[in-house]
């Protein structure tokens, strides 16, 4: 192992993947620079209130990660990458403000964006007042606000729509976004906790309760909170004069169309490759899947390597993942990057 | 504007107008009704289901949607043999649900479903 | 003429009770079906009369069956019942010998010590003076135990004692004070007149030393009279109605009268004969394993009597029969429950008309697996293997699935639907022209035997397999392994079949002893007779039963019911049906026999 010079790595994206991998890489003795284009770290998780399946606050994770990166990592906020080039056996990263940084390796943790529901006009987001997204609902809880309709009344019935922007060719995304189902169950429980008298319905195609304790959460939602589940995909939502919405689905298990008035619709948005993932990936000529996420060299064994030597990937830039999976993935990337750096001359 | 007549929407479940008193009664009397996930194990093993279109999965679902009319005749086809209860992966007390539906329908016999 | 106004309360109560009992008993007897009335009349002129008298003596007075539950408990009931009767008889004899007047008012023997505190010498006077005090002491010891039982029931062998309604508490209170008041009245009188028995006399002297007994004895007699009055008025409406009713029940039962769909009066007698002693609570596995103690037979009967029965109470019972087994009065609680459940029947009459029967092939033996056996296919596979090996011409009636035998529907009180199932199944059985009907499920076996009214032989598979073995149609080899046999509720207590399965298994291995054998068997919890209990509570019962009956985790638990097998199999892997045991021990029969 070559220990002559301290190796450096630039991690792009200070979401949880970026923070975790930076902190761990720094603990191996490398010089780590963490670039975040926003003014705060934490990525999407910083906007969540409580996490499945434990219902622990997201802030716990963010705070822990912030502490980890505090001492050993050089964090730069408001720092967007403009260009990445490779010359003289090192990477040259140019920021939009002109700053130039150099490193021996680059780790992309550029993450995902949520599907823009305006792409599904028939769901009424942005058109009807009482259609909100899962992220907006989360913000209501996080900011300690009361859940109210647009006219300020307490909703008596809420409909949660699964698979918005996922498993939907017409919306541009054929794939499943993995974590929206459990998010829907979690938010159904949270709505019932906030408004116990409200009726909450989840409209789903499948219920993907793949993780540990997910099935328990589903059972609890039914047993303890009385959340009801309708297997049927929302075809369209219409608005009544008073701002309430009409949901039309097929209740497939009854083989009958079903019509229901709700006061609020929550759209569970799917994941898409973020703009940063797309632009940087293209810039570096990386491989992309049909789902527009970055394809690593090998899905099973080389999850963190890419076509370009020295460019590594971690987190959701390679596809939708839960927080549990993202952190594990970030740690996997750390081993790969660490080995790479230690074998460099 | 009311044209004085309307077309019977017999097939669509209009949730806002449906009769959920029976479902509410059952939810109180037999709380395991709430955790049905419509997997269909009960229907698959049902004794009556071999001979007639009695479908417990669909029955519980339609009851919770308030569609009593569709299952009014069917509910009497159950032999109460209990195989569905043994098959249910969530331990739901299916026999009691049938008995409570029958009780509730009888109690509401003047109701137009 | 002996009279004082304080006897009025007692007399009023006594007359009321006397009239009430005459009226009620006459009504009950009158409402019996004509044939049962005939049976009752005949029984009075037969040997059965003496059998009844003997039973009244041993159960109503001595409470032999309660002694079996716990000696102290039995003593308590016995001292109150037998002691009080002896006190009445003794008092009557005493006053007859004293007054030599054949006609005395009924209150005279009871208040004898008031009217004649210093009786002087008469035939056996000393003996009676001693006896009456001794009997009073005897009863008081029982009353003392009764006080203890209400507050520390475990000391009398009962984990839980009956929760009483307010009216019962009133009746209990008056009963509790009758004898203490008698003691006080007699003691004060003894103290005032310086004459009494070994107990009342001594107490009298003791009280006289610091109390104005001359002034106290009269109010004490009033109190005694009122206590008796209160008790007599309360009796017909409280649990103590069992005192006279149990005697009537014994006569009726020994006359051969049983509960049936047409016979409602007998059921009413049984319901009033329940003493609410509460021994059915402890024996019920709900109390010991599922933390449910408000639906046991004692509460069920109480609710029926007071017309406040809820469907849930009637339905929340495993119908295992353990309470019937231990009831000192011999009430058929299972039959009562089923009969009450029929009052909640909401099925339409033509509900099962979608079943039509055709193309039944002929056979000598018709085998009905039943709904539950299809969920434990090892049983039907074993049965087919054995039937094939026996070379019997058999028809597997429900090989591809069929309709239910009808008993689960019956247990839920839906008699009409059950009868429809019975009719269809009978058609199939009759069309097959089989001479024997064999079933591997005791639930089906019970209904086939009791309700189907078939004129062919009906056998449970344990009986049939034993027959095959005894007739040489199959042979088995010994395979020693650790095993115990679990008596299914429906087969054991339900149909009194305890021996055939044991004889059969002992041909293959030696069964180990279980503390919960035969009539004492515990329920697996799987019961199809309970439509209310949650899955979770069932599992508690199953686990509790397994912990009690297995003495070794390596034991194979052999049972003869598919529902028991499925239920136990969840937690104990070495659970086998008796047919499996036989099938795996089958020997190929040699051609020359």
What's the pLDDT tens digit per position in A300-324? 999 999 999 999 999 999 999 999 9
**Average pLDDT of the residues in A195-213:** 96
CB-CB neighbours of C193 under 10 Å: 17
Which among B86, B96, B103 has CB closest to C375? B86
Q: Which segments of B1-112 are extended strands (E)? A: 13-14
Q: Which of A218, A255, A260 sits opposite B15 (nearest CB)?
A: A260
Q: Do residues C411 and C444 lie in contact, with contact meaning Cβ atoms separated by under 8 Å? A: no
- Please write the tens of the pLDDT for every residue from C517-553: 999 999 999 999 999 999 999 999 999 999 999 988 8
A77 shares a domain with A61 = yes
Least confident range from A71-85, C202-216, C454-468, C573-587: namely C202-216
Chain B interface residues facing chain A, Cβ-Cβ under 8 Å?
Answer: 11-16, 27, 31, 34-38, 57-58, 61-62, 64-65, 67, 90
pLDDT in tens, B40-95: 999 999 999 988 889 999 999 999 999 888 888 888 899 999 999 999 999 999 99
Residue C14 above 70 pLDDT? yes
Q: Do A219 and B16 touch (CB under 8 A)?
A: no
SS (H, E, C) A70-112: HHHEEEECCCCEEEEEEECCEEEEEECCCCEEEECEEEECCCE
A107 shares a domain with A126: no
**A259 and A141 inside one domain:** yes
Closest chain B residue to the Cα of C409, Cα to Cα: B80
Considering only CB atoms, C535 lies closest to which of B81, B91, B105, namely B91
Q: Spell out which chain B residues touch chain C, with contact meaning CB-CB distance below 8 angstroms.
A: 29, 32, 45, 47-48, 50-52, 76-77, 79-83, 86-87, 91-93, 95-96, 99, 102-103, 105-106
Grouping H, G, I as helix, E, B as strand and the rest as coil, residue C159 is coil
CB contact under 8 A, B102 and C347: yes
Helix (H/G/I), strand (E/B), else coil: C32: coil
Residues of chain A in contact with residue B36, where contact means CB-CB under 8 angstroms, are 222
Does position C591 have pLDDT exceeding 60, yes or no? no
A197 in B contact zone (CB under 8 Å): no
Judge if A99 and A65 occupy the same domain: yes
Is there a domain that residue B62 lies in? yes
More reliable by pLDDT, B70 or C290: C290
Domain co-membership, A91 together with A34: yes
**Minimum Cα–Cα distance from B70: chain A residue:** A254
CA distance A342 to A339: 5
Residue A162 to residue C164: CA distance in whole angstroms: 55
Please determine, for residue A339, whether its predicted confidence score (pLDDT) is greater than 70. Answer: yes
Last residue of a domain, one of A226, A242, A271: A271
Contacts of B11 in chain A (CB under 8 A): 256-257
How far, in Å, CA of C89 to CA of C528, rounded? 51
Confidence of residue B112 (pLDDT cuts 50, 70, 90): low
Cβ-based contacts of C531 with chain B (< 8 Å): 93, 95-96, 99
* Nearest residue in chain C measured CA to CA from B53: C354
SS3 of C208, please?
helix
Query: What pLDDT, on the 0 to 100 scale, is given for residue C348?
Result: 65
The Cα of A120 is separated from the nearest Cα of chain B by a number of Å equal to 24
Judge: C533–B103 Cβ closer than 8 Å, yes or no. Answer: no
Domain range summary for chain C, segments of one domain joined by +: 7-243, 266-341, 365-470, 483-584
Say which CATH number the domain at A105 has.
3.50.50.60
Nearest CA in chain C to B101: C346
Residue A30 lies in a domain: yes
Same domain, A157 and A246: yes
A250 interfacial to chain B (CB closer than 8 Å): no
pLDDT at A77 over 90: yes
Q: What letter would DSSP give residue C384?
A: H
Q: What pTM was computed for the model?
A: 0.86
Q: Which chains are within 8 Å of B by 3+ CB pairs?
A: A, C
Chain C positions in Cβ-Cβ contact with residue B55 (cut-off 8 Å): none
Highest mean pLDDT among A315-324, C197-206, C508-517 belongs to A315-324
What strands lie across the sheet with A81-87, from one edge to the other?
Answer: A81-87, A90-95, A100-103
* B72 or C251, higher pLDDT: C251
Residue range C507-521: mean pLDDT, rounded: 92
pLDDT at A138: 97
- In angstroms, the CA A10 to CA A18 distance is 10
At residue B3 the predicted structure's pLDDT band, cuts being 50, 70 and 90, is low
pLDDT of C349 strictly over 80:
no
Is C536 close to B91, i.e. CB distance below 8 A? yes
Contact B27 A226 (CB under 8 A): yes
CB within 8 Å: B93 and C528: no
Give CA–CA dist C40/C254, Å, rounded: 9
Domain assignment of residue A158, given as a range: 117-271
Cα nearest neighbour of B98 on chain C: C531
Q: Is C354 on the interface with B (CB under 8 A)?
A: yes
Average pLDDT of A185-213? 97
Three-state DSSP state, C437: strand
A132, β-bridge pairs: A266
How far is C-alpha A149 from the geometric centre of its chain's CA atoms? 26
Evaluate whether residue A3 is within a structural domain. Answer: no
Whether A18 and A143 share a structural domain: no
Tell me which residue range forms the domain holding B70: 40-106
Residue B17 has pLDDT above 80, yes or no: yes
The beta-carbon neighbor of B34 closest among A223, A251, A258 is A223
Range from A52-61, A250-259, C109-118, C559-568 carrying the lowest mean pLDDT: C109-118
What's the whole-number average pLDDT of chain B?
A: 87
A103 and A244 part of one domain: no
Distances (CA, A) of C535 to A213, A295, C235, C547: 21, 48, 41, 18
What percentage of chain C exceeds 90 in pLDDT?
63
Nearest CA in chain C to B47: C403
pLDDT exceeds cutoff 80 at C345: no
Is B89 a domain residue?
yes
Q: Is residue A188 very low, low, confident or very high in pLDDT (cuts 50, 70, 90)?
A: very high
- A254 CB neighbours in chain B (<8 A) are 13, 58, 61-62, 65, 67
Please answer yes or no on whether B81 and C404 come within 8 Å at the CB atom: yes
Confidence of residue C162 (pLDDT cuts 50, 70, 90): confident
- Among B54, B71, B74, B86, the strongest candidate for a mutation testing the C interface, having the largest count of C CBs within 10 A, is B86
Q: In terms of domains, do A35 and A54 share one?
A: yes
Total domains present in chain B: 1
Query: What is the mean predicted confidence (pLDDT) over C383-394?
Result: 94
Which of A219, A240, A271 lies at the terminal end of a domain, its last residue?
Answer: A271
The reply to whether residue C371 touches residue B82, judged by beta carbons under 8 angstroms, is: yes
Q: Is A189 helix (H, G, I), strand (E, B) or coil?
A: helix
Domain boundary, last residue among A256, A271, A286: A271
Considering only CB atoms, which chain B residues are within 8 Å of C542?
none
Which of A183-192, C38-47, C96-105, C353-362 is least confident?
C96-105
The answer to whether residues A31 and A90 belong to one domain is: yes
Q: What is the pLDDT of residues C405-445, one digit of tens each?
A: 999 999 998 888 899 999 999 999 999 999 999 999 999 99
Scanning the structure block, which residue is given the tokens 């780590």? A32
Of B79, B83, B105, the CB nearest to C375: B83
Q: Say if B97 falls within a structural domain.
A: yes
**SS3 category, B18:** coil
pLDDT of residue B109: 74
- Asked if the model's pLDDT at residue C226 lies above 90, the reply is yes
Question: What 3-state DSSP class applies to A182?
Answer: helix
- As a CATH number, domain C365-470 is 3.40.50
Ranking A265-269, A281-285, C193-197, C318-322 by mean pLDDT, the lowest is C193-197
Q: Do C371 and B83 touch (CB under 8 A)?
A: yes
**C358 inside 8 A of chain B by CB:** no
Q: Which residues of A touch B66 (CB under 8 A)?
A: none
When scoring C344, C347, C421 by the number of chain B Cβ atoms within 10 A, the one with the most, hence best to mutate, is C347
**Does the structure show a pLDDT above 70 at C140?**
yes
Query: DSSP code of C162?
Result: P
Identify whether A2 is part of a domain. Answer: no
Q: Which chains are within 8 Å of A by 3+ CB pairs? A: B
B&C contacts, CB < 8 Å:
80
Q: What is the pLDDT of residue C568?
A: 96
Query: Which residues in chain B have their CB less than 8 angstroms from residue C372's CB?
Result: 82-83, 86
Chain A residues with CB inside 8 Å of B35's CB? 219, 222-223
Both structure tokens of A204? 């789903």
Residue C120 backbone class (left: φ over 0; alpha: ψ -120 to 50; beta: rest): left
**Interchain contact C/B (3 or more Cβ pairs less than 8 Å):** yes
Q: Is there a contact between C348 and B76 if contact means CB atoms under 8 Å apart?
A: yes
Query: Is residue A178 domain-resident?
Result: yes
Q: How far is CA B37 from CA B61, C242, C576, in A?
A: 9, 50, 32
Q: Is the pLDDT of residue A3 over 90?
A: no
Give the pLDDT confidence score for residue C108 in this predicted structure: 87
Q: Is the pLDDT higher at C170 or at C419?
A: C419
Segment among A179-183, A246-250, B109-113, C42-46 with least mean pLDDT: B109-113
Structural domain tally of chain A?
2
In this predicted structure, what is the pLDDT of residue C197? 87
Tell me the chain B residues in contact with residue A251 when contact means C-beta distances shorter than 8 Å: 13, 61, 65
Min CA distance, B95 vs chain C (Å)?
6
**pLDDT value of position C355:** 82
Q: What pLDDT is recorded for position C593?
A: 45
B20 in any annotated domain: no
Tell me the percentage of chain A whose pLDDT exceeds 90: 93
Instruction: Flag whether residue C554 sits within 8 Å of chain B, measured between CB atoms.
Output: no
């Amino acid at each position: 192992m070559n220990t002559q010079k301290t190796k450096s790595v630039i991690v792009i994206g200070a979401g949880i993947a970026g923070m975790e991998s930076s902190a761990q890489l720094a603990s191996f003795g490398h010089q780590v620079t963490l670039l975040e284009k926003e003014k705060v770290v934490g990525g999407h998780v910083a906007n969540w209130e409580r996490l499945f399946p434990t219902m622990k606050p997201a802030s716990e994770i963010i705070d822990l990660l912030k502490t980890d990166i505090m001492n050993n990592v050089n964090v730069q906020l408001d720092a967007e990458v403009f260009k990445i080039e490779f010359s003289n056996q090192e990477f040259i990263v140019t920021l939009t403000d002109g700053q130039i940084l150099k490193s021996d390796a680059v780790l992309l943790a550029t993450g995902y964006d949520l599907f823009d529901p305006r792409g599904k006009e028939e769901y009424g987001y942005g058109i009807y007042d009482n259609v909100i997204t899962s992220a907006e609902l989360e913000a209501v809880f996080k900011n300690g606000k009361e859940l109210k309709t647009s006219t300020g009344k307490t909703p008596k019935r809420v409909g949660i729509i699964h698979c918005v922007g996922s498993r939907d060719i017409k919306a541009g995304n054929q794939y499943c976004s993995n974590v929206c189902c459990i998010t829907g169950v979690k938010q159904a429980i949270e709505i019932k906790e906030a408004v116990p008298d409200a009726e909450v319905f989840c409209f789903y195609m499948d219920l993907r309760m793949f993780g540990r304790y997910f099935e328990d959460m589903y059972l609890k939602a039914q047993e303890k909170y009385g959340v009801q589940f309708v297997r049927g995909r929302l075809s369209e939502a219409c608005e009544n004069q008073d701002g309430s919405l009409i949901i039309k689905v097929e209740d497939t298990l009854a083989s009958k169309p079903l019509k229901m008035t709700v006061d609020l619709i929550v759209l569970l948005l799917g994941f898409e490759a973020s703009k940063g993932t797309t632009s940087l990936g293209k810039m570096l000529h990386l491989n992309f899947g049909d789902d527009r996420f970055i394809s690593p060299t090998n899905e099973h064994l080389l999850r963190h390597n890419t076509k370009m030597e020295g460019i590594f990937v971690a987190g959701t830039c390679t596809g939708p993942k839960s927080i549990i999976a993202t952190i594990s993935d970030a740690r996997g990337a750390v081993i790969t990057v660490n080995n790479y750096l230690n074998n460099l001359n | 504007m009311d044209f004085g007549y309307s077309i019977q929407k017999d097939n669509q479940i209009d949730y806002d107008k449906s009769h959920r008193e029976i479902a509410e009664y059952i939810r109180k009397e037999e709380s395991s009704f709430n955790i049905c996930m419509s997997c269909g194990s009960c229907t698959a093993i049902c004794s009556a289901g071999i001979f007639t279109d009695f479908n417990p999965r669909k029955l519980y679902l339609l009851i919770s949607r308030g569609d009593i009319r569709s299952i009014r005749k069917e509910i009497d086809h159950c032999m109460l043999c209990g195989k569905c209860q043994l098959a249910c992966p969530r331990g739901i007390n299916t026999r009691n649900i049938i008995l409570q539906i029958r009780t509730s329908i009888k109690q509401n016999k003047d109701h137009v479903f | 003429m002996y009279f004082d106004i304080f006897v009025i309360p007692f007399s009023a109560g006594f007359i009321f009770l006397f009239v009430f009992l005459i009226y009620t008993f006459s009504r009950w007897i009158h409402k019996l079906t004509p044939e049962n009335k005939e049976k009752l009349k005949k029984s009075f002129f037969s040997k059965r009369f003496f059998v009844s008298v003997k039973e009244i003596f041993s159960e109503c007075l001595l409470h032999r069956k309660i002694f079996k539950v716990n000696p102290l408990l039995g003593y308590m009931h016995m001292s109150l019942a037998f002691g009080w009767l002896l006190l009445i008889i003794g008092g009557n004899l005493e006053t007859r010998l004293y007054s030599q007047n054949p006609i005395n008012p009924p209150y005279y023997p009871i208040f004898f010590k008031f009217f004649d505190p210093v009786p002087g010498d008469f035939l056996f006077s000393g003996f009676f003076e001693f006896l009456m005090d001794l009997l009073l002491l005897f009863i008081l010891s029982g009353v003392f135990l009764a006080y203890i039982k209400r507050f520390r029931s475990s000391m009398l062998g009962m984990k839980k004692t009956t929760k009483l309604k307010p009216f019962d508490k009133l009746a209990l209170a008056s009963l509790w004070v009758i004898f203490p008041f008698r003691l006080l009245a007699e003691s004060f009188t003894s103290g005032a007149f310086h004459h009494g028995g070994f107990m009342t006399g001594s107490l009298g002297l003791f009280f006289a030393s610091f109390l104005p007994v001359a002034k106290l004895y009269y109010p004490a007699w009033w109190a005694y009279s009122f206590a008796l009055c209160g008790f007599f008025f309360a009796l017909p409406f409280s649990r103590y109605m069992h005192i006279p009713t149990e005697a009537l029940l014994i006569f009726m039962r020994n006359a051969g009268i049983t509960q049936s769909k047409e016979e409602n009066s007998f059921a009413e007698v049984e319901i009033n004969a329940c003493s609410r002693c509460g021994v059915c609570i402890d024996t019920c596995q709900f109390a010991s394993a599922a933390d449910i103690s408000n639906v046991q037979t004692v509460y069920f009967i109480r609710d029926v009597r007071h017309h406040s029965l809820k469907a849930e109470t009637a339905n929340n019972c495993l119908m295992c029969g353990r309470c019937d087994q231990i009831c000192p009065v011999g009430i058929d609680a299972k039959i009562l429950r089923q009969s009450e459940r029929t009052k909640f029947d909401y099925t339409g009459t033509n509900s099962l008309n979608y079943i039509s029967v055709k193309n039944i092939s002929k056979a000598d033996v018709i085998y009905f697996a039943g709904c539950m056996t299809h969920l434990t296919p090892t049983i039907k596979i074993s049965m087919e293997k054995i039937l094939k090996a026996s070379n019997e011409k058999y028809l597997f009636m429900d090989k591809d699935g069929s309709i239910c035998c009808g008993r689960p529907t019956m247990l839920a009180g839906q008699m009409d639907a059950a009868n429809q199932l019975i009719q269809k199944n009978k058609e199939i059985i009759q069309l097959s022209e089989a001479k024997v009907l064999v079933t591997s499920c005791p639930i089906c076996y019970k209904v086939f035997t009791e309700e189907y009214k078939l004129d062919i032989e009906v056998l449970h598979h344990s009986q049939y397999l034993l027959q095959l073995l005894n007739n040489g149609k199959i042979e088995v080899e010994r395979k020693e392994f650790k095993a115990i046999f679990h008596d299914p509720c429906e087969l054991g207590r339900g149909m009194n079949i305890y021996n055939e399965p044991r004889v059969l298994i002992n041909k293959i291995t030696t069964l180990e002893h279980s503390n919960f054998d035969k009539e004492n068997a515990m329920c697996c919890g799987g019961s199809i007779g309970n439509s209310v209990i949650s899955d979770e509570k069932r599992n508690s019962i199953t686990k509790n039963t397994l912990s009690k009956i297995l003495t070794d985790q390596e034991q194979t638990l052999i049972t003869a019911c598919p529902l028991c097998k499925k239920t136990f199999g969840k937690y104990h892997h070495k659970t086998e049906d008796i047919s499996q045991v036989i099938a795996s021990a089958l020997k190929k029969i040699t051609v020359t026999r």
